[in-house]
């Protein structure tokens, strides 16, 4: 029964894109008894479509061989998801194993409860050494870390500012490129750690977050390539509720030619909702040293001139914007891939591979032109789903089909470390899956809740449920719209089935499942937001 369910699930996503390592099922030697080290690598906004282990079109043009190494020697999760597709909430969930409504960080700017228990402090109590480098993005000081060196707020690609535990709140500008600097600090910490203790190191990159600025050696990479367009690039949002229509994350209408796409000459005369980006592009340029800026202009200048001379409009302009966006995004990923290769090489050279679990993921997914979009936030697959690769020494190799969510990291790491798991944690340890087991009672649906509205990109508040085949979403607050998708027949979520008489039974089943999960996870959504039905 269970096997059938998961083969349907693979089918439902199979046409979104196919995995490269889909059939290995080799059971390795038993998991070592020694407590493993943990390396958790997380990028910011890396779409699974842009990681070649998942086999999608754009990643075939721009592969990620080093990140793929983790799956070649470990596990590739085919159905990994977040509970709220935006950065700070996702990071708070990773640390606590709780949904946003429990840890309090429902939106980007505030809410993290000071008394939240975070798994790194429990690891410390269990004798681990802990560290985090790179993006942090919560408005509270990192706790539970013996060492941290974290970026200011979103962080910058060029010459970013970091703060450290010794002087929290004092930000020091470091010359260089964020992805390289973050890896430098990770390796430096590994070099100087106390080797008598197991460790947990979190390496959290800024890339490939907006505004997608590559490092100098990759300015021209992929320039002659043409990345494939998603089938629904020119989506008209027909047949769906108002939420998809009212968003402001369209490549055509909301992606700026200056700040996002680096045509400096076009950094002017923007509609009111994009005026902020004029100063932001000036600020990003002003961060560069004169030499960096000269190199940048020498590369982008002539290409920008060719684009301006072509005087594009309409669909041609949309396609140009898409190509520039995807190329810059994939260039930032190339640097991430290089630096992950460097870190994996370090582990190998220092005999750490055999006793270190390596995790690669992103804080959420991202739109690579699907529905005509960039950004995330929606419960549609591209942003709800994340890449997730794990290499556990002695663990299973191959694909993991089960539904997993970012609430699961904290209990997994705590169990691996032999540390107590707090009773109120809402996730499940992934250890049985990593050992190749197929637990009969594994979850068969996922709950999602997004809150940040009104806000940038104008995505309405919504919650929903996804099972092996269907997804039900309710957009609420200043709108009351339900959507139902059959992911097996309609993997790109173009055809809203909600309200169709022949889906009456599915709608009822999915609503019951939704309310069951809201009760199970204790999300009092109906009371707080006056949901009528």
Q: Does 86 bind ligand SGN (CB under 6 A)?
A: yes
Q: Does 456 bind ligand SGN (CB under 6 A)?
A: yes
Q: How far is the CB of 364 from Ca ion (least distance, A)?
A: 5
Scanning 210-218, 362-370, 405-413, 438-446 for contacts with Ca ion by CB under 5 A, the matching segment is 362-370
Scanning 3-11, 112-120, 206-214, 475-483 for contacts with ligand SGN by CB under 6 A, the matching segment is 206-214
Binding track over 261-290 against ligand SGN, x by CB under 6 A? -------------------x----------
Q: CA 124, CA 147: separation in Å to the nearest integer? A: 12
Which one of Ca ion, ligand SGN, none is in contact with 58 (Cβ closer than 5 to 8 A by kind)? none
Residues 60-119 touching Ca ion, rule: CB under 5 A, are 87
Nearer to ligand SGN, 37 or 90 (CB): 90
Going from the C-alpha of 336 to that of each of 109, 215, 305, 356, 447, the distances in angstroms are: 26, 10, 29, 20, 30
Scanning 14-22, 207-215, 304-312, 510-518 for contacts with ligand SGN by CB under 6 A, the matching segment is 207-215
- For the chain, counts of helices (H) and of strands (E): 17, 17
Instruction: Figure out which of the listed residues 37, 59, 179, 211 binds ligand SGN, where binding follows CB under 6 A.
Output: 211
Q: How far is the CB of 10 from ligand SGN (least distance, A)?
A: 29
Instruction: Figure out which of the listed residues 45, 375, 452, 468 binds Ca ion, where binding follows CB under 5 A.
Output: 45
Q: How far is the CB of 297 from ligand SGN (least distance, A)?
A: 21
Q: State the pairing for strand pair 129-134/147-151.
A: parallel
Label each residue of 378-412 as H, E or C.
CCCHHHHEECEEEECCCCCCEEECCCEEHHHHHHH
Residue 51 CA, distance from chain mean position: 12
Instruction: Figure out which of the listed residues 44, 156, 337, 513 binds ligand SGN, where binding follows CB under 6 A.
Output: 44
Give buried/exposed letters for 289-328 (b at 16+ CB in 10 A, else e).
eeebeeebeebbeeebeebeeeeeeeeebbbbbbbbbbbb
C-alpha gyration radius of the chain: 22
One DSSP character per residue, 37-94 reads EEEEEEESS--GGGSGGG--HHHHHS--HHHHHHHHTSEEESSEE-SSSSHHHHHHHH
Provide the 8-state DSSP code for 453.
Answer: -
Q: How far is the CB of 325 from ligand SGN (least distance, A)?
A: 12
Name the residue with tokens 């097996």: 488
Going from the C-alpha of 70 to that of each of 73, 167, 237, 431, the distances in angstroms are: 6, 35, 37, 17
Q: How far is the CB of 204 from ligand SGN (least distance, A)?
A: 11
Instruction: Figure out which of the listed residues 79, 149, 204, 210 binds ligand SGN, where binding follows CB under 6 A.
Output: 210
Residues 213-252 touching ligand SGN, rule: CB under 6 A, are none
Scanning 37-45, 267-275, 283-291, 294-302 for contacts with Ca ion by CB under 5 A, the matching segment is 37-45
Q: Please, are residues 386 and 90 in contact by the beta-carbon 8 Å criterion?
A: no
Binding track over 94-133 against ligand SGN, x by CB under 6 A? --------------x-------------------------
Q: CA 356, CA 186: separation in Å to the nearest integer? A: 15
Q: CA 324, CA 261: separation in Å to the nearest integer? A: 6
Residue number with the smallest Cβ distance to ligand SGN: 87
Q: How far is the CB of 280 from ligand SGN (least distance, A)?
A: 6
Q: Does 209 bind ligand SGN (CB under 6 A)?
A: yes
Residues 445-504 touching Ca ion, rule: CB under 5 A, are none
Q: Please, are residues 281 and 258 in contact by the beta-carbon 8 Å criterion?
A: yes
Count residues binding Ca ion (CB under 5 A).
4
Q: Which two tokens stand for residue 80?
A: 């990994």
Q: Applying CB under 6 A, which residues contact ligand SGN?
A: 44-45, 86-87, 108, 154, 209-211, 280, 375, 456-457
């Amino acid at each position: 029964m269970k096997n059938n369910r998961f083969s349907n699930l693979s089918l439902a996503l199979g046409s979104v894109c196919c995995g490269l390592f889909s059939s290995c099922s080799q059971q390795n030697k038993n998991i070592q008894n020694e407590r493993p080290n943990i390396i958790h690598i997380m990028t910011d906004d890396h779409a699974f479509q842009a990681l070649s282990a998942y086999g999608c079109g754009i990643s075939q043009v721009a592969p990620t061989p080093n990140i793929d190494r983790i799956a070649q020697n470990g596990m590739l999760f085919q159905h990994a998801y977040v509970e709220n597709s935006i950065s700070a909430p996702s990071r708070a969930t990773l640390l606590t194993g709780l949904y946003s409504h429990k840890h309090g960080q429902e939106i980007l700017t505030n809410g993290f409860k000071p008394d939240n228990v975070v798994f790194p402090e429990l690891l410390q109590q269990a004798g681990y050494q802990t560290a985090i480098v790179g993006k942090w993005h919560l408005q509270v000081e990192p706790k539970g870390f013996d060492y941290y060196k974290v970026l200011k707020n979103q962080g910058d690609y060029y010459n970013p500012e970091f703060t450290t535990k010794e002087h929290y709140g004092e930000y020091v500008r470091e010359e260089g490129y964020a992805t390289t600097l973050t890896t430098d600090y990770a390796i430096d910490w590994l070099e100087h750690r106390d080797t008598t203790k197991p460790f947990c190191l979190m390496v959290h990159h800024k890339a490939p977050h907006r505004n997608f600025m590559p490092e100098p050696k990759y300015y021209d990479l992929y320039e002659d390539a043409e990345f494939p367009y998603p089938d629904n690039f020119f989506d008209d949002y027909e047949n769906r509720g108002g939420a998809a229509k009212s968003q402001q994350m369209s490549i055509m209408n909301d992606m700026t030619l200056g700040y996002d796409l680096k045509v400096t000459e076009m950094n002017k005369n923007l509609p009111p909702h994009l005026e902020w980006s004029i100063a932001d592009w000036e600020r990003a340029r002003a961060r560069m040293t004169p030499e960096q800026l000269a190199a940048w202009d020498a590369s982008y200048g002539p290409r920008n001139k060719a684009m301006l001379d072509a005087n594009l409009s309409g669909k041609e302009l949309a396609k140009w914007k898409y190509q520039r966006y995807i190329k810059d995004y994939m260039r930032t990923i190339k640097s991430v891939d290089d630096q992950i290769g460097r870190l994996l090489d370090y582990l190998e050279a220092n005999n750490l591979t055999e006793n270190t679990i390596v995790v690669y993921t992103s804080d959420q997914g991202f739109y690579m032109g699907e529905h005509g979009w960039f950004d995330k936030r929606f419960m549609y697959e591209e942003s709800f789903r994340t890449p997730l690769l794990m290499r556990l020494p002695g663990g299973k190799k191959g694909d993991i089909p089960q539904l997993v969510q970012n609430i699961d990291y904290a209990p997994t790491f705590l169990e691996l470390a032999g540390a107590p798991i707090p009773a109120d944690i809402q996730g499940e340890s992934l250890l049985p899956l990593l050992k190749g087991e197929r637990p009969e009672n594994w979850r068969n649906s996922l709950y999602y809740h997004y809150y940040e509205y009104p806000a940038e990109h104008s995505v309405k508040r919504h919650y929903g449920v996804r099972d092996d085949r269907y997804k039900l979403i309710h957009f609420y607050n200043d709108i009351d719209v339900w959507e139902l998708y059959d992911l097996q027949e309609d993997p790109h979520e173009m055809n809203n089935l909600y309200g169709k008489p022949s889906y009456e039974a599915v709608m009822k089943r999915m609503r019951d499942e939704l309310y069951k999960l809201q009760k199970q996870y204790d999300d009092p959504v109906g009371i707080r937001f006056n949901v009528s039905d």
